[in-house]
Amino acid sequence: MDQFTIAGRTFNSRLMVGTGKFSSNQAMVAAMEHSGCEIVTVALRRVDIDNPQDSLLSHIDRSRYLLLPNTSGARTAEEAVRLARLARAAGCDPWVKLEVTPDPYYLLPDPIETLKAAEILVKDGFVVLPYMPADPVLAKHLEEVGVATVMPLGAPIGTNRGLRTRDLIAIIIEQAQVPVVVDAGLGAPSHAAEAMELGADAVLINTALADTADPAAMGRAFKKGVEAGRLAYLAGLGPQRSQAEASSPLTGFLRD
């Protein structure tokens, strides 16, 4: 598949994978490997002092995957900036998936706080990939402050409901000067394919892989979905019509 570039770094895979909610680290690693992804997201949380867990990072081959820390849990720009700086202090590349989600029920991104945090983090030298509502005007504002991608949502996080924001994402893709990564809500390979057919540069999935009996197989399925959608976009989809247009010749029928 054709490569794509974020902030000067080139990737062969257009599928990014989140590492949350897997039944085991083995299942997570299997999903990552089979999906062919090169970027994986991780979160930052307090250590449970009374019950320290085995480190997630010991399961992730950092020579193979770019670690993309998110700022999940942040409700304000200030909290997001704090989390991003902590991730950088942990020795990560200064890349961050910026998430500011004050509403615990739908986890919808706060456009105002996201824009504020993006501006601060870009000035601080971060490569910022903001999770955002599928709002073309906001995408432009985020571009103006220097984000590396925009990441509009297909549907709320973890809902597996697909590309509910399709028409708005189409506008974002039409106008974007940075890669468009559809994040959140994609629950099936067909959803990923649909986003890619529309011209998205990449997609990010997590729940769809973690919430299945066979994460490795689902990883392969999404890989194929993303590749199919990308190839179809590059080839150019045929126009839709309201009336039938015969595929077979309309002459030479065996009739009197």
Partner 1 sequence: MQLIINGKARDFPTTFSVAELLNQLGLTCGRVVVELNRNILAADHHSTTPLKNGDSLELIQFVGGG
Asked whether position 18 contacts partner 1 by CB under 8 A, the answer is yes
Is 21 or 123 the residue whose CB approaches partner 1 more closely?
A: 21
Is 128 or 233 the residue whose CB approaches partner 1 more closely?
A: 128
In this chain, which of 5, 86, 102, 112 binds partner 1, going by CB under 8 A? 86
Burial of 211 (0-12, 13-18, 19+ CB in 10 A): middle
Is 51 or 251 the residue whose CB approaches partner 1 more closely?
A: 51
Sequence-separated (6 or more) residues with CB below 8 Å from residue 58: none
The stretch among 55-63, 119-127, 161-169, 217-225 that binds partner 1 (CB under 8 A) is 55-63
Minimum CB–partner distance for residue 97 and partner 1 (Å):
9
Sequence-separated (6 or more) residues with CB below 8 Å from residue 28: 19, 22, 59, 210, 215
- The encoded tokens of residue 69 equal 């820390």
CA 108 to chain centre: 15
Asked whether position 69 contacts partner 1 by CB under 8 A, the answer is yes
**Hey, is 96 helix, strand or coil?**
strand
Minimum CB–partner distance for residue 166 and partner 1 (Å):
21
Minimum CB–partner distance for residue 234 and partner 1 (Å):
28
One-letter amino acid of 40: V
- The encoded tokens of residue 60 equal 């992730």
Is 139 or 184 the residue whose CB approaches partner 1 more closely?
A: 184
Has 224 been annotated as catalytic? no
In this chain, which of 37, 42, 118, 153 binds partner 1, going by CB under 8 A? 42
Asked whether position 22 contacts partner 1 by CB under 8 A, the answer is yes
In this chain, which of 37, 77, 132, 157 binds partner 1, going by CB under 8 A? 157
Asked whether position 70 contacts partner 1 by CB under 8 A, the answer is yes
One-letter amino acid of 154: G
Minimum CB–partner distance for residue 49 and partner 1 (Å):
6
Q: Are strands 202-205 and 4-6 parallel, antiparallel or unpaired?
A: unpaired
Using the CB atoms, write b or e for 59-76: b if 16+ within 10 Å: ebeeeebbbbbbbbebee
Asked whether position 74 contacts partner 1 by CB under 8 A, the answer is no
Asked whether position 178 contacts partner 1 by CB under 8 A, the answer is no
Asked whether position 44 contacts partner 1 by CB under 8 A, the answer is yes
Is 8 or 52 the residue whose CB approaches partner 1 more closely?
A: 52
Is residue 99 within 8 A of residue 70, CB to CB? The reply is yes
* Site size toward partner 1, by CB under 8 A: 35
**Hey, is 211 helix, strand or coil?**
coil
Sequence-separated (6 or more) residues with CB below 8 Å from residue 196: 14, 203, 225, 226, 228, 229, 230, 232, 233
Rounded (5°) CA angle 100-115-86: 55
Give the residue numbers marked as catalytic.
Answer: 97
Q: Residues interacting with partner 1, by CB under 8 A?
A: 18-22, 28, 41-47, 49, 52-53, 55-57, 67, 69-70, 72, 85-87, 89-91, 157-158, 184, 204, 206-207
